[in-house]
Amino acid sequence: MPMTAPDYARYFTSGTSFSYEDGLTGTLSVAEVGELALPTGRVVACDPFVYLGSGDIEAFTVGVAPGRYPVQASVATLVRPGVEPGPHPHTRIAAVRLTVRDTPPVSWELALRPGQDLAELGEDEFFGYGVDAGTGCFYDASADGAFPGTEDEEGAVWAAMESIGHGPAVFMAEGDDGHNLAGFTSGWGDGAYPTWIGRDVSGEVACFVTDFLVVPSERVDPA
């Protein structure tokens, strides 16, 4: 059967810890990315430095009511026992959540684009988006052309990314006509990553979560 979702509530609980088989340990904290404008409610997730403005990425088949919604990142701080820490913590973005309703998810489903069929997936496979520039994002489908210059390494998205400094590797970029984009580095870097839809007890969409596969879900301890 396709990949199943882990317990993302723990990913967004500060103090949750995990470990790798090689002894590397991680502790999760939550960082606020910002408020995302979704004027059409059609959610797009992709690598902005590769696909933004290309018209090649379609919105997920499940949309939400138009509005403005908070985006948070689960930040993993990694430590290797016996190794002296550097001047800045080693952090990775483990997952990012776009919250639509302030209700806890009770079920999870893969976010799909038109033409994708879960029946085509094999054991532990998933549909996700490809990352080739180490970055992911959320934005509204109507904002695809609102960030000119991105493909030429110019404009608002590049400026926002370059302003991160030593804080959590997340940013908000302001585009044309009131559009914006929530961006973040993608875990360990390039690859393919799933986005999940969490539904609450009433069946309504509570959130979208992109998992950058930093946390080995079978080795997570509660906070």
- pLDDT at site 221: 58
- 35-68 in b/e form (b: 16+ CB < 10 A) is ebbbeebbbbbbbbbbbbbeeebebbeeebeeee
Tokens at residue 173, please?
């970029």
Q: What is the value of pTM for the model shown?
A: 0.94
Give the pair of three-digit tokens for residue 30: 């939550």
Strand partners, 172: 182
Q: How far, CA to CA in Å, does 23 sit from each of 18, 19, 75, 78?
A: 10, 6, 19, 11
Nearest one of 175, 146, 183, 139 to 42, comparing CA atoms: 139
pLDDT at 223: 47
Instruction: Specify the pLDDT at position 165.
Output: 83
pLDDT at 201: 98
Q: 137 by DSSP, 3-state: which?
A: strand
Q: How far apart are CA 137 and CA 157, in angstroms?
A: 10
Residue-level pLDDT at 166: 81
Q: Tell me: the pLDDT tens digits for 159-169? A: 999 999 887 89
Tens digits of residue pLDDT in 23-48:
899 999 999 999 999 999 999 999 99
Rounded Cα–Cα distance for residues 17 and 11 (Å): 9
pLDDT of residue 218: 65
Going residue by residue through the chain (223 aa), what tens digit of pLDDT does each one get? 789 999 999 999 999 999 998 889 999 999 999 999 999 999 999 999 999 999 899 999 999 999 999 999 999 999 988 777 778 889 999 999 999 999 999 999 999 999 999 999 999 999 999 999 999 999 999 999 999 999 888 999 999 999 998 878 999 999 999 999 999 999 999 999 999 999 999 999 999 999 999 999 765 555 4
